[in-house]
Amino acid sequence: MRSRPTALLASLPRTYWLLWVGTLINRLGSFVVPFLTLYLTQQRGLPVAQAALMVSLFGAGSFTSALVGGLLADRLGRRPVMLLSFLLAPVNMIALGLIQPIAWLAVLTYSQGLLTDLYRPAVSASIADLVPSEDRPRAFGYLYWAINLGFAIAPVVAGLVARFDYFLLFVGDAATTFVFGLIVLAGVRETRPAEAHAASTSPLSTRLRLLGASPLMLLFCALALALGLIYMQAHVALPIDMASHGLGPEAYGLAIAVNGALIVVLGLPASHAAVRWPRYGAMAVAAILTGAGFGLTGLAGSLPLFALSIGVWTLGEIAGSTIAPAIVADLSPIELRGLFQGAFGAAWGLSAFAGPLVGGAILQRFGAGVLWFACLVLGLLLAGGYLALGRRAHRPA
């Protein structure tokens, strides 16, 4: 009998595992983004407002890359877009660590956000090409686990490296991205189906019109945007609320570590189980857990209770992040898989931009209690939305 690891490897295509290994290596070297604000303020001496603007420009580039990367993945193929991202991003990253004029710093920060995430729709579309529908939750779940394992380790390593020289963060980040490019160059074949290749010359307006003619996809992206608005409160409103209870950055770091720990521990078992979950029902449960977790924050006043609330919404994050890309792949026409994955990524990117603004405004005007209660109510409404969308998706065409 084959050993369990061997059986696991054989259950998904070799190309998928090359993408999985490359993703893990790339995320293990995600040094710059978590420390970009500190680098700009402490090493470059920029005012906080200017540093925040630079980080926003990175986010704007990332948002743009979702749609651009999706369109290019359908038009040029998955492999060329991956190589474009993995071979150009390291060059831009090194230049970003060396450049001095503030105007060029802004340009390179935006282009780094664009190039860093350009590959994501191509990878997701490639997985949809390679893996049958029934196995996609498991495949996307494994990839999500690898991403979070890398993110759990990278900031620790980056903190140690930054003590010696911040520029080494840029070098290390660029090197791991380049390694992913070499993996794609050496071993990843093109997966774009013949239907997508035949339709690759259709005008952009036609492709966008086809996306607009898919109400299920547009509604699913709208629900993802709203769910992201809740989730993004973890990065701005949560630490502010914890500080108002006398819990500083160290306490926030300990509490948020629950998120990464649960994902690493439960991510793989959840990926195995997800193939048996009803997909829209699982998204409804994810919305309830996310809303309930952030709603519970309104009752927290101590570190254990804040950690408990984070644990609850992390369970929702695990369920949603495992199932959502598989739903997008199911909704996508074969010739538009890249565009549909890019549209879904753009919805999350927009929530990353709008979430802190909306949460901060509610927090400042109405207080933390109203914000957390609103998260709870929105989560429950989204659960109803996912169930309604599921009923519509299962009607005969």
Residue 112 and residue 190 share a domain: yes
Residue 217 and residue 183 share a domain: no
Residue 340 and residue 256 share a domain: yes
Structure-token pair, residue 330: 């199911």
What local confidence, expressed as pLDDT, does residue 10 receive? Answer: 61
Residue 4 inside a domain? The answer is no
- Boundary-marking domain end, from 155, 174, 201: 201
- Euclidean distance between CA atoms 378 and 120, whole angstroms: 28
Q: Shortest CA distance to 155 belongs to which of 324, 276, 31, 267?
A: 31
pLDDT by residue for the chain (397 residues), tens only, comes to: 445 555 555 678 999 999 999 999 998 887 777 667 667 877 788 786 677 677 778 878 888 888 889 889 888 899 999 999 999 999 999 998 888 888 898 899 899 989 988 999 999 999 999 999 888 889 988 998 888 888 778 777 777 777 778 888 899 999 999 999 999 999 999 988 887 776 667 776 777 777 777 889 899 999 999 999 998 888 778 888 888 888 876 777 778 778 888 888 898 888 888 888 899 999 999 999 999 999 999 998 898 999 999 999 999 999 998 899 999 988 888 888 888 888 888 888 888 777 877 888 888 889 889 999 999 999 999 999 999 999 887 764 4
Q: Is 319:386 a contact under the CB 8 Å cutoff? A: no
What local confidence, expressed as pLDDT, does residue 200 receive? Answer: 65
What local confidence, expressed as pLDDT, does residue 7 receive? Answer: 54
Structure-token pair, residue 240: 């502010």
Residue 228 inside a domain? The answer is yes
The number of domains in the chain is: 2
Residue 109 and residue 90 share a domain: yes
What local confidence, expressed as pLDDT, does residue 264 receive? Answer: 85
Q: SS3 letters for 180-201?
A: HHHHHHHHCCCCCCHHHHHCCC
Residue 246 and residue 176 share a domain: no
- Boundary-marking domain end, from 175, 201, 227: 201
Residue 2 inside a domain? The answer is no
Residue 233 inside a domain? The answer is yes
Residue 180 and residue 68 share a domain: yes
For residue 94, what are the contacts with CB-CB under 8 A and spacing of at least 6? 170, 171, 174
Give the chain's end-to-end CA distance (angstroms, integer): 44
What local confidence, expressed as pLDDT, does residue 130 receive? Answer: 92
Q: Shortest CA distance to 180 belongs to which of 18, 30, 14, 31?
A: 18
Query: What is the domain extent for residue 371?
Result: 207-397
φ/ψ of residue 203, rounded to 5:
-60, 155
Residue 177 inside a domain? The answer is yes
Helix (H, G, I), strand (E, B) or coil at 131: coil
What local confidence, expressed as pLDDT, does residue 395 receive? Answer: 64
Residue 21 and residue 91 share a domain: yes
Residue 118 and residue 186 share a domain: yes
Residue 117 and residue 68 share a domain: yes
Residue 137 and residue 217 share a domain: no
Residue 1 inside a domain? The answer is no
Residue 255 and residue 183 share a domain: no
What local confidence, expressed as pLDDT, does residue 174 receive? Answer: 93
Residue 295 and residue 233 share a domain: yes
Rg of the chain over Cα atoms, rounded to whole angstroms, equals: 21
- The answer to whether the pTM exceeds 0.85 is no
What local confidence, expressed as pLDDT, does residue 397 receive? Answer: 41
- Boundary-marking domain end, from 173, 201, 229: 201
Residue 68 inside a domain? The answer is yes
Alpha helices in the chain (DSSP H): 4-10, 14-28, 32-38, 48-75, 78-98, 102-116, 120-130, 136-162, 167-187, 194-198, 204-212, 215-231, 237-244, 249-274, 279-297, 303-331, 337-366, 368-393
Residue 166: CATH number of its domain: 1.20.1250.20
- Euclidean distance between CA atoms 161 and 238, whole angstroms: 28
What local confidence, expressed as pLDDT, does residue 327 receive? Answer: 92
